[in-house]
Amino acid sequence: MSKLANVEDWLRVRLPELIAEHRVPGAAVAVLAGDEVIDTAAGVLSKATGVEATADSVFQVGSITKVWTTTLAMQLVDEEKLDLDAPVRSYLPDFKIGDEDAAQQVTVRQLMCHVSGFEGDIFTDTGQGDDCVEKYLGVITEVPQLFPPGEMFSYNNAGYCVLGRIIEVLRDKPFDTCVREHLFAPLELTHAANGAGEAIMFRAAVGHIQPTPDSDPEPAPVWSLVRSNAPAGSMLSMRPRDLLAFARMHLSGGVGPDGNQVLSPASVAAMQERQVELPDLAIMGNAWGLGWEIFDYPGGLVIGHDGGTIGQSAFLRIVPGRQVAVAILTNGGNPLALYTEIMGRVLSELADVELPALPTPDLTQPSIDAKRYVGTYTSSVADTVITQNEDGTVWLERTPKGIFAKLGPAMEKSQLVPWRGDTFVPVDDPRGLHMPHAFVGDDGAGHAAYLHTGRADRRMP
């Protein structure tokens, strides 16, 4: 029996067990090894309807969309219509953010690798029309600049909406049409959708949320984030097998299923080149390429991306040179535990790559003077307050804002303990991840300038 067959047998038995253990309503998984793909699913698409999840069910892929958006942009590079190092204003003369100097400097490349430096979590609804991404650019005209363009990494959804608008302008088509004509069609995808209006044609998963950490997942009040954020990941859904068709194209030097060149080999390679290094953030990559996260795993280099929408989580990992890729799509509960076991097992068996252990808090760590870290750090999605008690205990209190305040606990509080250098981990985390919190930079008065958890939240004065 082949290794892939062994993986398939294991998945068919273990996936139903995992979703029960971790209160995941439904999940679908596909694995690519060489020229073969296997897939399976378990659970339900909605706890309200009880419709069974199948391998042909479509789930939202969330921010994995960003790699699709980058691919669309790199096709324009191949056609010599787009220069990665040109300022955004070369293509969008009206591009405006809160800092005029930064607006003049930000380049297309900086959008792709999240180093443009402006506030990035803006989820304003600009309507359902084909002009929604164009209108979005009018929403971000006053967003603050967190740091000069190119200085550091800070995950930026808004930057990808700007990139999506560049694609629209150069193609003279709405973003959804660009996705359909330039990726769905040449990749011969049969179960992929832009938004709810298309997803309803398939067996579509509904996201599930937990109003409190201990409550059972329940169907989310809305299906997706707003359409204006489509280039960043608010709309795209598909079955795992179709997501792996996209991965296979990137593993094959840009060649599509019928031998057509969807993307040039040079652009495929460019997307996988390291552009910026990240703080040690555990589940996130060690570096970022053009669109792709880059993971330095024991046994080999891995590329991929994760996605999270309203109650749905997606994971994609690809091992270049070994023709292995894994897609995991879920609709609630604790997907991280499911991801960890499945991805760890499959990558080890098929690619000799080990998934690093996630960080765990060490309560034996001695007390430290936390005055460098104490303060309030803010972004458009949350305010985070770091305090220290007289006994030396360091505490984090995070208050979500905007749409995130409606989808989870009003406030999260946890003790923080040192992990590595200026990076701490929370003792309590109901999501199953003790997410590293890196304190970076200096405000000139001996305090950290940013609290980094993938986004660089700036210290308030």
Distance CA 161, CA 289 (A): 18
Q: Which residues contact 334 (CB under 8 A, 6 or more apart)?
A: 22, 23, 24, 431, 432
Determine contact, residues 35/251, Cβ cutoff 8 Å.
Answer: no
Catalytic residue among 57, 63, 154, 234: 63
Determine contact, residues 56/32, Cβ cutoff 8 Å.
Answer: no
- Which pair of structure tokens corresponds to residue 35? 């020229």
Determine contact, residues 39/55, Cβ cutoff 8 Å.
Answer: yes
- Identify which of 89, 69, 83 has the alpha carbon closest to the alpha carbon of residue 137: 89
**Residue whose entry in the numeric block shows the structure tokens 């992929």:** 192
Determine contact, residues 323/251, Cβ cutoff 8 Å.
Answer: yes
Helices 157-171 and 65-78 meet at what angle, rounded to 10? 40
- Which pair of structure tokens corresponds to residue 104? 């003049």
Distance CA 452, CA 415 (A): 17
- Identify which of 249, 251, 237, 238 has the alpha carbon closest to the alpha carbon of residue 302: 251
What backbone torsions phi and psi does residue 145 show, to the nearest 5 degrees?
-90, 120
Distances (CA, A) of 377 to 51, 150, 213, 235, 449: 42, 21, 24, 30, 9
Note if 63 is an active site residue: yes
- 79, with CB counted inside 10 A (0-12, 13-18, 19+), is exposed
Determine contact, residues 341/257, Cβ cutoff 8 Å.
Answer: no
What backbone torsions phi and psi does residue 326 show, to the nearest 5 degrees?
-135, 130
SS (H, E, C) 28-85: EEEEEECCEEEEEEEEECCCCCCCECCCCCEEECHHHHHHHHHHHHHHHHHCCCCCCC
- Cα torsion 454, 318, 329, 35 to 10°: value is 170
Q: Listing from the earlier edge strand, what are the strands of the sheet with 192-194?
A: 59-60, 236-238, 192-194
Rg (CA), the chain: 21
Distances (CA, A) of 35 to 123, 146, 239, 252, 347: 39, 45, 18, 11, 16
- Which pair of structure tokens corresponds to residue 45? 């698409």
Which residues are designated catalytic? 63
